[in-house]
Structures are given as structure tokens and as C-alpha cells.
């Protein structure tokens, strides 16, 4: 498996030619995306050719609607790693004004047919490509038929009676429903950051916390979560608070993780959090003693869940 980056003025890697393609932003690489990837991989194996996930970096919205873009469900590195689990190659189209200016037909003829020489395309129900997302699945089906490119439309993957989509994942995540998000992704939702120096208040209370900084992905809604913390390839149960600390009058939104049973130094290390279940809302407490009692209860709850 390999990763390639392509710009309009560059040469397409030969190993990406004459394959089965699926094209998209693939933010979060949820079950719907995975269905496309696995269909492309299956067709490619049958045809003895490569399967290729074609994605974009930066995300087109960062150029088109920068004031509303992001944060996203997965970092670039995580998205690529997840895509690689399903297909032969990952091809990153370098997003530029010139690329975004291509009409749907131009994108199809220049990128898919001329540059990639695609044998087949696999896409989903909510496809939009080309300038203004004018290219729909029906438009693409017509283009493929005219160029003798096999086209497969994969029906939406449903979970709990509704189609899986990146927008649905984001909505459930912001609502704190990380257990439902795990169903939509086929895995727990993961956030990664670097451990920085906080107020050290948790340590004085007897519950040292790792304060995560430099997080680039979307955070769950405010609350306390049962989670798994991954550091140096080791996994620890964790109670994680996302949001402010109203008991001490702090309004800044933070991510603080108490790794249960962990007693080592974490400053400046990378730490990942897999969110399992929301256990309660964020709320102020009348006293420090009441807060300590609640944290103890949270930790026992996390132990039962994780």
C-alpha cells in the first residue's frame, strides 16, 4: 500500500492508473465510506487491478468557506491510515483554486479518464463533484457510460434506521452521544492531543489529569465521559471531562483526562482518547468535597463501562 499526492501540474503515479476508484473527502471514514472502499477493493481484486481511494487535502471547504470550515472528524494522518486499511493506494488530490474551478465534466474527463485512466468508479448516494458540486451520481453515471467506465452506486448504509453520513456523525458527537458515534464509525471516536501543563488542580484533589492541547479534530459536547486513553501503545481506562470547570469559575473549554491507575509523567507526550460513553453532564458543585465524591463515583462508573 502507498500514499501519493497529485497536483494538476504533476505526473500521475503509474501505480494509480487503470484501477477501481472511489472519490470523496472521507471525513471520519464512517461505515458508509467503508462500504464504498470495500466495494472498490472487491471489484479491484476481481479485475486484478489496484483499488484507489481518491481524497482531497486541504478539505475543499477550507478554500471555499474558510470561515465555516472544520474542525473535522479525523486528522489527515488518521484519515489516510483508515483508508489504507481498505484499499491498495490512497491518492491525495492537492486542493487548489484551479482544481475547484473545474466543471464536473472537466473533472471527470481530465482527472478520472485522462490522468487516472479509471476502469471503474464506486460512489455513494450523496456524491457532489466539480465546481459548485454540480456533478451528481446521475451525472457521473452518464459520464461513465459514455466513456465505458463501469459505475457502481452503493446504497446508503443505515444504522438505527437512518443513513450514516459525516454530518450525522458530527451532530451525534456534539450532542455527546459518543456510543452512537461508535456505531456509525464502526469504532470509538478518537481525539489526539499533546499533554500540556494545566492548573494542576486535579493532582491537589487526588486525581491528576492530563490536559490535552493542539487538538485539531471536533470535540464531543461538554460532559464527563468514560474513555480509553492510549499513550506509548498502552491503553488505560480514563474519566475525561470536556468543557469548562464551573466549580472553580473557569469558562475555558478544556479536555482533561484522568488515567485510572496511571502514575507516570505525561507532559509533552502525544495522548489519544477513545470516547466510549457519556456518563454525566458538566455541572458546578457546592464544595470541593462534593466534587471529590462525584469524581470518585465517576471513576467507579468508568471502571464498570471500560
Where in the sequence numbering do the catalytic residues fall?
256
Beta bridge partners of 162: 159
Q: 3-state DSSP call for residue 43?
A: helix
Residues in the chain: 306
Q: Residue 62: which of 100, 6, 26, 101 has the closest Cα?
A: 100
- What stretches of 175-287 show up as alpha helix (H) in DSSP? 178-185, 201-205
Dig out the grid coordinates for 21 from the structure. 476508484
Provide the strand spans (E) within 129-218.
150-153, 158-159, 162-163, 189-196, 210-213
Of the candidates 206, 193, 197, 219, the one whose C-alpha atom is nearest the C-alpha of residue 258 is: 206
Instruction: Please work out, in degrees rounded to the nearest 5, the angle formed at the alpha carbon of residue 218 by the alpha carbons of 214 and 221.
Output: 115
Give the CA distances from residue 267 to residues 97, 207, 210, 213, 240, in Å, rounded to whole numbers and listed in that order. 40, 16, 8, 11, 17
Amino acid at each position: 500500500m502507498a500514499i501519493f499526492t497529485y497536483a494538476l501540474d504533476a505526473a500521475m503515479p503509474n501505480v494509480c492508473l487503470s484501477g477501481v476508484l472511489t472519490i470523496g473527502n472521507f471525513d471520519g471514514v464512517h461505515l458508509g465510506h467503508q462500504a464504498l472502499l470495500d466495494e472498490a477493493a472487491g471489484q479491484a481484486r476481481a479485475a486484478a487491478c489496484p483499488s484507489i481511494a481518491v481524497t482531497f487535502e486541504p478539505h475543499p471547504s477550507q478554500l471555499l468557506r474558510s470561515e465555516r470550515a472544520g474542525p473535522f472528524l479525523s486528522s489527515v494522518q488518521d484519515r489516510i491510515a483508515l483508508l489504507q486499511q481498505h484499499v491498495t493506494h490512497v491518492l491525495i488530490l492537492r486542493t487548489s483554486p484551479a482544481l475547484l474551478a473545474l466543471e464536473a465534466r472537466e473533472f471527470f474527463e481530465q482527472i478520472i479518464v485522462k490522468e487516472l485512466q479509471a476502469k471503474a468508479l464506486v460512489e455513494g448516494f450523496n456524491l457532489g463533484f466539480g465546481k459548485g458540486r454540480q456533478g451528481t451520481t446521475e451525472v457521473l453515471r452518464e459520464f461513465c457510460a459514455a466513456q465505458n467506465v463501469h459505475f457502481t452506486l452503493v446504497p446508503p448504509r443505515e444504522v438505527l434506521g437512518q443513513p450514516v453520513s459525516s454530518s450525522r456523525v458530527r451532530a451525534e458527537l456534539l450532542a455527546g452521544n459518543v456510543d452512537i458515534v461508535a456505531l456509525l464509525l464502526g469504532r470509538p471516536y478518537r481525539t489526539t492531543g499533546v499533554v500540556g501543563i494545566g492548573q494542576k488542580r486535579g493532582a491537589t484533589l487526588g486525581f491528576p489529569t492530563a490536559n490535552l492541547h493542539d487538538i485539531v479534530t471536533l470535540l464531543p459536547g461538554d460532559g464527563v465521559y468514560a474513555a480509553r486513553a492510549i499513550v506509548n501503545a498502552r491503553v488505560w481506562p480514563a474519566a475525561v471531562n470536556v468543557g469548562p470547570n464551573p466549580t472553580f469559575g473557569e469558562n475555558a473549554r478544556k479536555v482533561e483526562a484522568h488515567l485510572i491507575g496511571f502514575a507516570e509523567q505525561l507532559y509533552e507526550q502525544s495522548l489519544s482518547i477513545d470516547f466510549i460513553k457519556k456518563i454525566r453532564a458538566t455541572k458546578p458543585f457546592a464544595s470541593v468535597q462534593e466534587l471529590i465524591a462525584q469524581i470518585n463515583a465517576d471513576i467507579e462508573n468508568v471502571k464498570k463501562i471500560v
